[in-house]
Amino acid sequence: MTDNIDLLKINFDADSLWLVNITLAIIMFGVALDITINDFRNLLKYPKPVIIGVVSQFILVPLVTLGLVYLFKPHASIALGMIMIAACPGGNVSNFMSKLANGNTALSISLTAFATIAALIMTPVNLAIWGNLYKPTSDILKTININPIVVSKLILLILGLPLVLGMFIRYQKPFFAKKIARFLKPISILIFIGFISVAFYNNLAIFKSHIHYVFYLVVIHNLVLYIIGFYTAKIGQVSFQDQKTLSIETGIQNSGLGLMLVFLFFNGLGGMALLVAFWGIWDIISGLILALYWGRKNKSKNYDTIPFS
């Protein structure tokens, strides 16, 4: 029964929480080593893909997520987990996926930076706004004391500061920044994937007995977000390369940040934690499948056959 799902205790202690924080900060730092002031200047010269990405990420994603919540009417804490995912910025591993898909890596990196800055305000605001538009999740939020300023400070600490530090080093020591970014980014992503794998293994029994509550929701939710990102970009008439990038940026959310917020502010609420944790596993799998598919199509010069057409 889903009534008991909130009694679940996922094996995730204070040490794991710190490891997530450090890993997210390292990934963000590695991404920032590839960002220059000129990247932002170029975005100002051709802002359409960025505008599409921001609208898709911070408006369409939570809106469609709320629609899915009303459609499927999952257990309240599971629904709040979906809204938490929608409130988080794009995942940093999206840059790696965009590169595999032969997308616009520069756009992906710039969007990650922009979304990180916007998340300081938009993550707590979106969680509060959209979470209160569905009564069962609104009832949970009324019992939780979430200070938006504290959430913003947390995001600033684990994402904002590494972003600024990485960009500063790139500006001051460009050759050094490129050199360390070459190995730091893949290593940090492997560490993150390794952490997810170990966490999954440590909670294997829980996943086996309860995964059916969230599996279909995560798969459908994730697929819908990829489609939204792709077709929003297509309607915006940007290049196919940018369409792939915006699809990946929209479909891959920062579940590590979401999981951290679940344990810090919601005391690891069972259904919420289960959904966000499985999302962290699934969007890596789905992202790799989609990126490798697009990358293979790119090599074969077949640009017309795409998964969402």
Q: What is the pLDDT of residues 67-97, one digit of tens each?
A: 999 999 999 999 999 999 999 988 778 888 8
pLDDT of residue 280: 86
Q: pLDDT-based confidence at 304, cuts 50/70/90?
A: very low
Q: Among residues of the chain, what percentage have pLDDT more than 90?
A: 35
Answer yes or no: is pLDDT of 299 > 50: yes
Q: How far apart are CA 55 and CA 107, in angstroms?
A: 15
Q: How far apart are CA 233 and CA 305, in angstroms?
A: 17
pLDDT tens for residues 35-56?
Answer: 777 777 777 778 888 889 989 9
For residues 2-19, give the mean pLDDT: 71
Average pLDDT taken over every residue of the chain: 85
pLDDT higher for 302 or 260? 260
What is the per-residue pLDDT across 242-272, written as a single tens digit (0 to 9) for each? 999 999 999 999 888 888 888 888 888 888 9
Q: Counting beta carbons within 10 angstroms of the beta carbon of residue 42, is it exposed (0 to 12), middle (13 to 18) or buried (19 or more)?
A: middle
Phi and psi torsions of 210, nearest 5°: -130, -5
CATH class of 10-299: mainly alpha
Residue 159 has pLDDT above 80, yes or no: yes
